[in-house]
Structure 1
């Protein structure tokens, strides 16, 4: 992985995400692009007048004011990004595009090896599912924690021999090779699990030594089992397939993927 992008916006949580991305880029000897979605100003839906503090403000004037605010926020976000990458001596670029955050990240992800975004929070925009399912590139979702290690020393790989799991595993290969320990976890009834020896041998051919585990899940669903086992083993990264479907043309993550993204405490690399 030599080309990473990170979603940059004006929230208070953004700095921690950029810091994590910069440390990851430094670890992988990769360059990092900050991607900012420039929101188009919206024409007020009224009779053409907005009552402001200084009196009547016409809709076009309001439109210009909103555009100025948007550009100012973008400049502040760029300054934050530049400060973070400078601290880590990472080769960096800055990219902006008008549009929604998910669409802009998807556009730039297709020219990158991995996109780094944040876990959704209450009241905020959730772009993780959209980017993971539409970008065609691996997405690294960062949890809402003040400071995270980008070491990825112990990686948990969720494995069920599906297309999505295979894609995620191979997308994560540079991180797996750099890890000190890799655990391959299969969850579900033993009779329904694929033989683990072939994937273990395949990873060994790529110089990745893994510990293969099976958990029947018991009364827990796969998502809760994966999150719990990750915590029990002290893993600092989860690698998993992004499973989804498209009801009414809207991309929606499946139950396991959604559960993990909601309850994650370590970064999650997802591929679809």
Structure 2
């Protein structure tokens, strides 16, 4: 897989600077275009949803207020893009795109035509958006913590289970594995290697020399074991499949994906 288009959603409210910094670094690395996408709220639709049962005069006031809010958010998103351009440099092709309509539907449509979408961690809005996009786009999502560096420097850790989400994440992560130490980790018992030797051989066919390791989580969770080992290895990126169980089950009972999204202190690349 080659990365030629990177999507950075910007809602005009949350700070997307860490995602933009990462996008610029990765665009230079892969020769990719960066698209900053702002889903513009439809004032009439927003007012209609807020003003059910409201008299006509009140509805007009709601539409006016919604239009003002939509313009304000678009202006903030465009200002962030304008500030991003000199930081990205002339070598990075970038464009600002805005569309009007339901944000999640617009971003899902845009994400399907991107090779990578980058979001900022630590925000419930972005966590919800990641949940939506990872399922709706069939494309990898990079979650960048607010304090992380944009270059993703350091070894790469791949969380492996012998299941479809992990296999898709591994393939999506191949561009990130070139020229850096790679460690493939499986959380389980010593008897359960989850086909790790074949994972190492597969990566070798792609020119990637990787070490493989089985982690015993002890009394902790799989996510905690992965994060601890990744930090011990000085990793700059963790790659993982997303939602091997259903999203509802993980939301109610918890799960590795949910814990990684909420707790991982380093950049996290996920795919489903």
Fold conserved (TM > 0.5)?
A: yes
* Match in the other structure for 1:95: 97
Q: How many angstroms does 1:58 deviate by?
A: 3.5
Q: Confirm or deny: 8 A CA contact 2:119 2:126 kept in the other structure.
A: no
* Match in the other structure for 2:211: 211
Change (3 A) 1:125 1:40: farther
Change (3 A) 1:216 1:127: same
TM-score (norm 1): 0.87
Q: Distance in 2 between matches of 1:252 and 1:16?
A: 30
Which one has a larger percent strand, Structure 1 or Structure 2? 1
Q: Confirm or deny: 8 A CA contact 1:160 1:193 kept in the other structure.
A: no
* Match in the other structure for 2:131: 129
Q: Distance in 1 between matches of 2:67 and 2:135?
A: 31
Change (3 A) 1:121 1:151: closer
Q: Distance in 2 between matches of 1:177 and 1:209?
A: 9
Moved over 4 A (4+): 122-125, 250-254
TM-score (norm 2): 0.87
Q: Which runs of 5+ in 1 are unaligned?
A: 50-56
* Match in the other structure for 1:29: 31
Q: Distance in 2 between matches of 1:168 and 1:7?
A: 21
* Match in the other structure for 1:173: 174
Q: Distance in 1 between matches of 2:95 and 2:270?
A: 24
Q: Distance in 2 between matches of 1:227 and 1:118?
A: 18
**Which residues in structure 2 correspond to 1:115-154 (within 5 Å)?**
115-121=117-123, 126-145=128-147, 147-154=148-155
Q: Confirm or deny: 8 A CA contact 1:115 1:138 kept in the other structure.
A: yes
Change (3 A) 1:170 1:236: same
Q: Which runs of 5+ in 2 are unaligned?
A: none
Q: How many angstroms does 1:22 deviate by?
A: 1.6
Change (3 A) 1:124 1:33: closer
Does residue 1:65 correspond to 2:68, yes or no? no
Which one has a larger percent helix, Structure 1 or Structure 2? 2
Please give the secondary structure, in 2, of the residue aligned with 1:127: helix
Please give the secondary structure, in 1, of the residue aligned with 2:191: helix
Please give the secondary structure, in 2, of the residue aligned with 1:16: helix
Q: Distance in 1 between matches of 2:247 and 2:87?
A: 42
* Match in the other structure for 1:54: none
* Match in the other structure for 1:265: 265
Q: How many angstroms does 1:60 deviate by?
A: 1.1
Q: Confirm or deny: 8 A CA contact 2:177 2:208 kept in the other structure.
A: yes
Please give the secondary structure, in 2, of the residue aligned with 1:69: helix
Q: Distance in 1 between matches of 2:126 and 2:33?
A: 28
